[in-house]
Amino acid sequence: MPSRFYAVLNPIYFISISLIFIKNILTCKNAHTYFNHLKHIILSVGIIYMCINPLYAVDEIPSDIANSALNNDENDEAMVTIDNTEQVKILNVTTLTDIDSLREQTLYIGQYITITYRLVLLDEARIVYTEFNPSLDKQDKNAKSQSVQLIKESAWQKKDDYYTATYTFKIIQSKVTIPSLVVHVQNNYLQDSMQTDPINLQAQALDKTQGYSGVVADSLKIIDYTLENYDDNNNMILIELEGYGSNLEDFRLPNIKDQEFGQGTKFSDDVARVNVLARIPKELDSIEFSYFDINKHEFIPLSIKNAVNIESFDDEIRDDLNPKSSFIKITNIILFAMLGIFLLITLIKRSYIAAIISCLLLGFIVYRIFSNTYSIKTLPNARVLIQPTHSSTELFVITNPTKLEAIDKKNGYYKVNIDSKVGWISRNDTNKR
C-alpha cells in the first residue's frame, strides 16, 4: 500500500503546481504578486512532499528485506532436500573374498584367482548392469594395459537378503590391480550406482627355464597321444592333455615351430582338456616339456618318446595309423611266394595243374587288392582327419576336388594315404554320399 501511494503522489504534486500556476496567471493583477504566491505554494508543497516521501521509502525497505529473507529460506530448504536425496542409497556392494588372506598367498603370473562380491538391494531396486572401471573388455583399447584378464563371470545369485557373484581372473603382470566393480541399479523412483575399491596384489614371474610350457596348474597330465610319420624329416604328434585349475590356453611345446590346438579342445578354469597337434623333427629323441605346480611350488617335467613305433594308449588308433597291419603284410608275402613257386613249376615242368593254380593265385591277389580299395573323389575343402571320428583333429585340407584310392573304410570314413601321410576323410566330403 505505501508503494502504491508513493507512486501516485508524484504526479499529484506536479499537477497541483500546474493548476496553481494557471490560476494565478488568470487572477493576479501584476507579476510581483504572482511570483510571491507561487513561491509560497511551491515551498509549502515541497516541504510536505519531502516529509512524506522518506516515510514511505523507509516502509519499502523492510518489505524488500523480508522478500529476500523469504527467498533465502526457500533456497536453503531446497538445498536440504537435494542433500537428503543424494544421501539416499538403494544398494550396497562390497568384496566378500578375504583380500588380506589372498595377499598372504604366493601368486604367479598365469595363475587363476577368483573374487566374490556381495550386493544388497534396497527399496525394490533391481540390477541394470555391471562393469569394471577401468574396463576389462578385450575390445577396449585401455584394457591392454590391465594386469589381469577376465576369464569368467557368474550371474548374481540370491542368498538370504543379499546377492553374490564370482569373477575369475588370470594374472598377466607381476603388479596386479583388479579394477573397481561398478554396479548400476534402479527402482521406480531413481537410478543409483556404487563401486568397490580396486584390489592390489603382487605376483611372481616364473623363470623361463628350459622346457617350460607356460602352464601354471594344480595338476597337468598326458591323457593320450598318437605319433605318425609325417614326411622324411618330421613326425606328426597329437597330444591330449588334461589340466586342473590351469591356463592351458597358454600351452606351447618348447622349441617347436609348427603347433596348434586341434578340435575337441575345451578351456576351463576348472577342468580343461586340449588336443595339441604338432610337427616334431625326427632328430629329437623325445618331446619334453614342463608345467609349474601351484601347490608344490615347483616345475614338473613331462616327456614323450619321439618314435613312431611306440605303443599308443589306444590300440585301435595305433592300428588306424598304420596303412597295413603285420598280418596283412605276412599274408601278401605268402601269396606272392606261392605264386612265384607255381609259376616256376609251370615254366620248368610244363605242368597244367601248376598253371591253373598260378592263375587262381593271381586272381585271388588281384581281388584282395581291389576289394580293399575304394575309388573316391573329394569335394572342395575336404578335411583329412587323424582319426575316423567327428571330433578328430584336422590333419590338413584338400582344397580342390581330387581323385583318391582309399585303402580302408570305417564308420563312414575313408582311409587314405597322401604323400606318406595317413588320414581319414568323411564320406560327407566325397562323392560317395
> Based on the number of CB atoms within 10 Å of its own CB, is 185 exposed (0-12), middle (13-18) or buried (19 or more)?
buried
Residues 107, 201 contacting (CB under 8 angstroms): yes
Measured between alpha carbons, how far is 5 from 11 in angstroms, rounded to an integer? 11
Question: Are both 362 and 285 inside the same structural domain?
Answer: no
Which residues share a beta bridge with 423? 416
Question: Are both 365 and 385 inside the same structural domain?
Answer: yes
Percentage with pLDDT > 90 across the chain: 37
Residues 365, 335 contacting (CB under 8 angstroms): yes
Question: Are both 225 and 191 inside the same structural domain?
Answer: no
Chain centroid to Cα 37, Å, comes to 103
Is residue 275 in a domain? yes
Measured between alpha carbons, how far is 353 from 138 in angstroms, rounded to an integer? 81
Measured between alpha carbons, how far is 202 from 251 in angstroms, rounded to an integer? 23
Measured between alpha carbons, how far is 127 from 121 in angstroms, rounded to an integer? 8
Is residue 243 in a domain? yes
Question: Are both 124 and 198 inside the same structural domain?
Answer: yes
* 166 or 314, which is more confident: 166
Measured between alpha carbons, how far is 193 from 378 in angstroms, rounded to an integer? 60
Measured between alpha carbons, how far is 411 from 388 in angstroms, rounded to an integer? 7
Q: C-alpha angle with apex 225: 220 to 229, nearest 5 degrees?
A: 145
Question: Are both 17 and 81 inside the same structural domain?
Answer: yes
Measured between alpha carbons, how far is 246 from 267 in angstroms, rounded to an integer? 9
- In the predicted model, what is the mean pLDDT of residues 79-93? 65
> Which pLDDT band holds residue 194 (cuts at 50, 70, 90)?
very high
Alpha helices in 279-409 (DSSP H): 315-321, 326-349, 352-371
Closest CA to 111 of 249, 293, 246, 251: 246
Residues 175, 202 contacting (CB under 8 angstroms): yes
Question: Are both 149 and 173 inside the same structural domain?
Answer: yes
Measured between alpha carbons, how far is 36 from 30 in angstroms, rounded to an integer? 11
Measured between alpha carbons, how far is 51 from 362 in angstroms, rounded to an integer? 149
Residue 400 has pLDDT above 60, yes or no: yes
**Domain CATH number, residue 99:** 2.60.40
For residue 78, what pLDDT is reported?
46
Give me 374's grid cell.
Answer: 575304394
Question: Are both 144 and 71 inside the same structural domain?
Answer: no
Is residue 306 in a domain? yes
Q: Phi and psi of 111, rounded to 5°?
A: -80, 150
Measured between alpha carbons, how far is 295 from 236 in angstroms, rounded to an integer? 33
Residues 119, 130 contacting (CB under 8 angstroms): no
For the ranges 168-177, 340-349, 405-414, the lowest mean pLDDT is seen at 405-414
SS3 for 250-294, per residue? HCCCCCCCCEEECCCCECCCCEEEEEEEEEEECCCCEEEEEEEEC
* 139 or 268, which is more confident: 268
For the ranges 125-134, 307-316, 374-383, 413-422, the lowest mean pLDDT is seen at 307-316
**Domain CATH number, residue 364:** 2.30.30.40
For the ranges 10-19, 56-65, 298-307, the lowest mean pLDDT is seen at 56-65
- In the predicted model, what is the mean pLDDT of residues 354-361? 87
- In the predicted model, what is the mean pLDDT of residues 411-420? 80
Domain count, the chain: 4
Residue 146: strand, helix, or coil: coil
Measured between alpha carbons, how far is 331 from 334 in angstroms, rounded to an integer? 5
Question: Are both 309 and 336 inside the same structural domain?
Answer: no
Residues 421, 398 contacting (CB under 8 angstroms): no
pLDDT tens figures, 241-284:
999 999 999 999 998 988 888 767 888 888 999 989 898 999 99
Measured between alpha carbons, how far is 299 from 217 in angstroms, rounded to an integer? 10
Residues 292, 273 contacting (CB under 8 angstroms): no
Domain of 394 in residue numbering reads as: 326-429
Question: Are both 154 and 230 inside the same structural domain?
Answer: no
Q: C-alpha angle with apex 409: 406 to 415, nearest 5 degrees?
A: 45
Question: Are both 80 and 147 inside the same structural domain?
Answer: no
For residue 164, what pLDDT is reported?
97
Is residue 22 in a domain? yes
Question: Are both 75 and 107 inside the same structural domain?
Answer: no
Domain boundary among 86, 113, 136: 86
Residues 136, 88 contacting (CB under 8 angstroms): no
pLDDT tens figures, 90-131:
999 999 999 999 999 999 999 999 999 999 999 999 999 999
Question: Are both 136 and 174 inside the same structural domain?
Answer: yes
Measured between alpha carbons, how far is 127 from 91 in angstroms, rounded to an integer? 9
The model carries a pTM of 0.56
Domain boundary among 172, 204, 236: 204
Is residue 34 in a domain? yes
Which residues, including other chains, have CB under 8 Å from residue 9's CB and lie 6 or more apart? 49, 52, 53
What residue type is 180 in one-letter code?
S
Is residue 318 in a domain? no
For the ranges 57-66, 221-230, 306-315, 400-409, the lowest mean pLDDT is seen at 57-66
Domain boundary among 61, 86, 111: 86
